Every structure is written in C-alpha cells, then in structure tokens.
Amino acid sequence: MRPAVLNPLFASLSSLPGIGPKLERLYARLLGRDGEPARIIDLLLHLPSGFVDRRDQPKLSEVTPDTVATVAVRIDRHRPPPPHRPRVPYNIEASDDTNTLTITYFNARKDYLQKQFPIGEVRYVSGTATLYDGHLQMVHPDRVVDAEGFKHLPLIDPVYPLTEGLHPNQLRKAVDLALERLPALTEWQDRDWLSRNAYPGFAEALRTLHRPASPDDLRPEGASWSRLAYDELLAGQLALALLRAHMRNRGGRGSAAEGRLRDRIIAALPYALTPSQQRAVTDIVADLAQPQRMLRLLHGDVGSGKTVVALLAAANVIEAGRQAAFMAPTEILARQHFATIAPLARAAGIRLAILTGRERGRERDDILTALDIGDIDLIVGTHALFQEYVAFHDLALAIVDEQHRFGVHQRLALARKGDAVDLLVLTATPIPRTLVLTYFGDMDVSELREKPAGRQKIDTRAVPLERLAEVTEAVARALDTGRQVYWVCPLVEESESVDVAAAEERCKMLRQRFGAAVDLVHGRMRGPDKDRAMERFAKSETRLLVATTVIEVGVDVPRASVMVIEHAERFGLAQLHQLRGRVGRGAERSSCILLYKAPLGPTAKARLAILRETDDGFRIAEEDLRLRGQGDVLGVRQSGMPGFAIARIDVHAALLPTARDDAALVLSRDPKLQSPRGAALRQLLYLFARDEAIRMIGAG
C-alpha cells in the first residue's frame, strides 16, 4: 500500500484548477505517461532545461536578435488584420527612445490584445526577439506585464521542455499549483551526509529548481539538482538490491558437476579459450555449485565468445541431470545461436532443440512434450520460452541474451519456470561501469576483454556520400575477388516503413549493377523469409546483402569481409561498432566504409573519428555514453527499462557507488525496511516509480 502522505502527489493533474481533458492529454504526452493520466509528481520531476534571465532589461538598440530579451516599451499603435483575412497576423507597434519593436500575434482576439497593450502605456515584454525584413520583431511573447506586474515577475524564469499545443505559461502555472501540494515528508537520507554535502531537503530542492533565485540554482551539478539525482539513484539501487535479495532468499539448488561435458565441448572447439573466457567459466561453475541462486551478467565485445561460455555453463547443469534454456530477443539471433551451438552440443552428447514463433502444430507439440518429460537438455528460443504453456522437467539455468531488450518481468518469468533457477545474462555491448551499476546492480559481473585468436583489425574509412559511385566500384572489385559484402541502410526516422523503403531503393539500385548476387533483409519481413535470405548469404548463393539494422547482432558469416554503412552519421557509436563486428570473422582482411552526408555535426564527427581510431568495444562504449547519454547506449528508450527523470550520468555518475553502498548498508541493517528510515525509504521508492521492489520484501 502506498503511504497515505504521498496521495496528494499521486493525484491526477486534472485535480489542478484549469487542467481539463485536452490539457491532461498534452501533459500525459509530455511527461511520458501516454495511455495513463499524468500525476502531480510527474510534473514536479519535470525539471527546467534552461532559464530566462530578466535581471537585465536592455534598450531595444542593444537587443541581440534570436535571443530571449525582456524590454520596456511604449505601445504606439495596433495594426489588426484586414476583415475576413484571419491568416494575416495582428501587429502591435511599440518603441523606446532607441528603436522600434513589432509585437506579432496569430489568431489572437482583438479585444484581448487591446486590453493587454493599451496605446500610450508602458509594458514589459519578454520573448524571443528576431529580425524580420531588418526590423526587430517579437512573436507571441512569453510574458506581458505592466510596471506593477514586473515587480512580481521572477527575474530568473525557468524554461521547460514542452510538447506541441502546450504554452510555457500554462506549464509554469501548473508547476506553481503542484508545488503547493507538496506534503511534509519524513527525510529518508542520512542527515549527517546531507549536511556534509550542503544538500537541501527533498521539497526545498524541488522549490529551488522550479523557482530559482539565480542561474546557479539550476546547474545540474548544484546542490538541489544533485540532491534529487542522488534520491533517484538511491531508489534505483535499493530496488535492484531488493530484487537481488528476493532472488537469493528464495534459495538455490547447487548444480555441481565434474566437468566431463565441458571438457568435450572445449575439445571440439577449433581454438583455445581466452583467459577472460576461462575466468568467466570458473566463476560461473563456482556460482552454480552454491546453494544460493546465481545472478550473473556476462558482457564483452562483438565476437568475444559469450555463446561458448554460456554453453559451458549449460553443460555444467546438464551433467548434473538438469535442463538449461537460452533465450534470444529475435528469431534470427535464436537461430544463429542454435547453429553455433549444435555441432558442439552433438560432440558433447547434449540433446538440443529450438522453439520460436515458427515452430507450429505437431512439431511444436513434440518439442513441448520432450521438454516436459526431460528428453531435451538445452532449448534455444525467443520470448516463446516463457509463455505459460511451456513447462520444463527441471530447469536449472536460464541464459538471457541481449538482456536490455527484455524487461525485468520477462527475466523473472523465465526464472520462474523451474525451482530456484540460476540466471546468466549476456549482452554483446560492452557496458560502461556506471551503467552496469545502474541497470545490473543486482548481478555479479564477468567481462570478456580479449578477442578470439586470429581476429584481424578492420580497416575503417569514412567517405562522403557524394563518392557513392566510387564505393560501388570498390564493392564491385571485392565481389570480383569472391568476397561477400554487407550494405546497411540507416534508420531514416522513427518509422519502420521508411527504413524499409530506403533499403528496398538501395537494393534496387545495386541489383541494376550486380544482378542476382544482391539480396535484401529487413525487420518487416516474415521470419522464414528473413532466415532464407540470411541462409542464401551464409551459403554464398548471394554475395551482397542489403539490410537494415536487423543484422546488428548475432549474424555470423565468416566469408563476409566488407561492410558498407550508409548515413553512418545517423547511428550511435555502439551500434556502428556492432555492425562493423559482422565482418573480420574470417581469414580475409576486412574493411568497413562509413558513408556519411556532409557536413558532419561535431558529435557525428567525433563518433566517426573514434571508430576509425579504435576497435576496443569497452572504450567505444564509454565514449558512446559520453556523446549520447545513458538512454541510447543500452537501448533503454526502446526497451521500456526505466531511464532517469533527474539524474544525468555525465554529471552524477560519481554518486552511483555511494548510492549502491548506502542501499547495501540499509538492507543489511533493515532488510524489510521497517525502521523509521526504512519507512521513509519506502516513500522514496514510490516517488521514483520503483515501488515494485516493495512487493518483493517478504515475498516467496
């Protein structure tokens, strides 16, 4: 049950005066609550992105065009639009003793404007000043007040992110009303710690950020913003620690084995395990033998050998007489894992099957029956594996690939398919340490740092799109020598159909040049069609594969040695690195051509420079975090995992380890959050939407 003291903050925004159904829908869109009513707490945590400084009121002759200015002007005359021409703007001529200003409104009521701007009187007007035909103009000013009103106008006025249809003044008024609803909350932070950092209380921090007295009050590294960022980070770390405790407390079943199956798999490998792989296997085998449940994250670069480590983990529980499941986010990736694992599983005598949306009818029934009676040791599949109708004989280990594409619910659903299931999470993106703490703080971590022996450095070049014809000729030379080529088309916009159209258009152009050697694969194709296209490419029946980012992870064609990425400036750094990793897997020297549209912005330029400079995925991930922020690096915005409302990793990363230690200390002393501080921390979990963790306290 949510503490009653929080109820005013969880009331719908429509409970504030002046917010009807239309405005409520706009706020829901702005505050990320589409489909659900926005609440007062959502508005209070929607912090300003900038401010207007009205401490200085320049003369009109001193105003810099395209900046926000606050000026005192005399109203000289009104120029309403001619009758029956509503699209013509309503102009108000104003001046001071140095210059003139035209104040412009579209679709405004004449009586309202005449009352707002009486001729001959002085008005203080604030808004963006622009030059129109060499003349100073202000369209729809943010603020218009007389001298008395100006005395009460905040000199530092916050500017908020908005959505279309919502006026800044409406949002400011709603925030002022929301601040009045702030209840007196019990302090959940350690008072000595607050004092040492000179941090204000929760309510005071919110009031300072929404009603700043100086620009310094709005700095993300300032005391008020940092206080709220720490609250948010602590809520996240507490939730992860409670999840971990919940998983651990349910107990485990040790799966100890001598390692005979592991030895058979290692003997069947065409290469030796890297030191990182050996360390990861040792740690996992030790975890699996314990009576506590394993929760481990395995991350490493493209091609660092995560699938083999996962198979060796599965072999351990299978030798102990139990089952393992390997879940991938897409059918292509599931089938790729299946193809990689199958020969090794055969060598070790492991009974293997695959279950995706494509297995139907009798074939599906046979797989489900064999799984239920224990005739399948290891099953590979998509999210189909955690549907209700799937039953295991004795599931011991759940392996989840590309974890960030699955929510915590799905992770728990698969883990509930057996008695005290151990969990191994893989991701093909090396994750910066701060993000490991943020999203995987409930897990132990293994890193795969080395590349397998024989991997060559990929020659990476950035080429402007104007040289497309030269790139096409280079591709022709590669195809003439028997090499295979990927040609990746970009995310054009947030519309899959446009991406597909771009890929189809490029495919058409390349087919005119190379004929039947060219094939196409994209996300909107049916599963079987996608797989057949990939299979044709893998068997060299086709040699130039035009694709959208569907090939980003898991696709393994060693003969492919050229990667062309069109509009490389539109991709994130980690994604470019992932795509580049599709080549360089065979004996051929490989190359990656980054086709970009000039001129490049500073961020895109930095991305392409880093990519040319290094192939170290861990360094690339850190740079990607620096350039893009936490949301995109892990695909958080696409996956529905909680991002941050307040904390900014680039500014507040140093607070994360403290939050993690604080959460661990609190739960070691008060595992059920029953002490006075524990009760206050329950409020914190609700405020930052981590209250699911509360249900895990004492749950079975």
At 519-543, the pLDDT tens digits run 998 877 887 788 788 889 988 999 9
**Between 383 and 638, the higher pLDDT residue:** 383
- Residue 639 pLDDT greater than 50, yes or no: no
Among all chains, which residue has been given the structure tokens 């948010």? 232
Banded pLDDT at 635 (limits 50, 70, 90):
low
**Between 470 and 412, the higher pLDDT residue:** 470
Among all chains, which residue has been given the structure tokens 């000179």? 198
CA 607, CA 622: separation in Å to the nearest integer?
12
C-beta of residue 97 within 8 angstroms of C-beta of residue 72: no
Tokens of 321: 């007489």
- Report CA-CA distances (Å) from 132 to 113, 129, 485: 21, 10, 52
What pLDDT score does 429 carry? 76
Q: What is the number of other CB atoms lying within 10 angstroms of the CB of residue 668? A: 9
Q: What are the φ and ψ backbone dihedral angles of 578, each rounded to 5 degrees?
A: -60, -45
CA 423, CA 412: separation in Å to the nearest integer?
9
DSSP collapsed to 3 states, 570-611 = HCCHHHHHHHHCCCCCCCCCCEEEEEECCCCCHHHHHHHHHH
599 upstream amide cis, omega within 30 of 0: yes
Sheet holding 484-488, edge to edge: 459-464, 591-596, 560-565, 484-488, 544-547, 518-521
C-beta of residue 645 within 8 angstroms of C-beta of residue 45: yes
* DSSP string covering 498-523: HHHHHHHHHHHHHHHHHGGGEEEE-T
- Give the relative orientation of helices 433-440 and 223-249 as an angle to the nearest 10 degrees: 60
What pLDDT score does 251 carry? 65
Give the count of alpha carbons within 13 A of 132, CB side only: 12
Dihedral of CA atoms 634, 449, 649, 568 in degrees, nearest 10, equals -50
The predicted model scores a pTM of: 0.73
User: Strand pairing partners for 447?
Assistant: 299
Instruction: List all residues 6 or more positions away from 449 whose beta carbon is below 8 Å from its beta carbon.
Output: 276, 300, 301, 304, 618
> Whose CA is closest to 95, among 56, 64, 138?
138
- Report CA-CA distances (Å) from 690 to 187, 236, 694: 18, 7, 8
Q: What is the number of other CB atoms lying within 10 angstroms of the CB of residue 313? A: 29
Give exposure, 220-249, as e/b (b: 16+ Cβ within 10 Å). Answer: bebbbbbbbbbbbbbbbbbbbbbbbbbbee
Among all chains, which residue has been given the structure tokens 């202000």? 138
CATH assignment of 459-614, given 2.130.10.30, 3.40.50.970, 2.60.40.420, 3.40.50.300?
A: 3.40.50.300
C-beta of residue 597 within 8 angstroms of C-beta of residue 464: yes
Q: What is the mean pLDDT of residues 358-386?
A: 93
> Whose CA is closest to 604, among 582, 575, 584?
575
Query: Looking at 141-145, 424-428, 551-555, which range is the least confident one?
Result: 551-555
CA 566, CA 594: separation in Å to the nearest integer?
6
Q: What is the mean pLDDT of residues 5-23?
A: 95
> Whose CA is closest to 378, among 427, 311, 473, 429?
311
What pLDDT score does 39 carry? 96
Q: What is the radius of gyration, based on Cα positions, of the chain?
A: 30
Instruction: List all residues 6 or more positions away from 309 whose beta carbon is below 8 Å from its beta carbon.
Output: 277, 280, 281, 284, 298, 446, 448
What pLDDT score does 638 carry? 43
Instruction: List all residues 6 or more positions away from 475 whose beta carbon is below 8 Å from its beta carbon.
Output: 485, 487, 514, 544, 562, 564
- Residue 505 pLDDT greater than 70, yes or no: yes
CA 268, CA 290: separation in Å to the nearest integer?
28
| CA angle, 144 then 148 then 151, to 5° | 85
Average pLDDT, whole number, for the chain? 89
Instruction: List all residues 6 or more positions away from 283 whose beta carbon is below 8 Å from its beta carbon.
Output: 296, 444, 446
CA 172, CA 184: separation in Å to the nearest integer?
22
Query: Looking at 179-183, 614-618, 622-626, which range is the least confident one?
Result: 622-626
Dihedral of CA atoms 57, 59, 60, 64 in degrees, nearest 10, equals -60
What pLDDT score does 148 carry? 94
We find that the CATH architecture of domain 273-280+289-448 is 3-Layer(aba) Sandwich (3.40)
What pLDDT score does 581 carry? 86
> Whose CA is closest to 685, among 695, 700, 675?
695
| Coil, helix or strand at residue 398 | strand
CATH class (in words) of the domain with range 55-153: mainly beta
CA 106, CA 378: separation in Å to the nearest integer?
67
Q: In the chain, what are the domain boundaries?
A: 1-52+165-183, 55-153, 273-280+289-448, 459-614
C-beta of residue 100 within 8 angstroms of C-beta of residue 94: yes
What pLDDT score does 647 carry? 92
What pLDDT score does 637 carry? 46
Banded pLDDT at 45 (limits 50, 70, 90):
very high
- Residue 583 pLDDT greater than 50, yes or no: yes
Q: Do domains 273-280+289-448 and 459-614 have the same CATH topology?
A: yes
Q: What is the mean pLDDT of residues 208-235?
A: 96
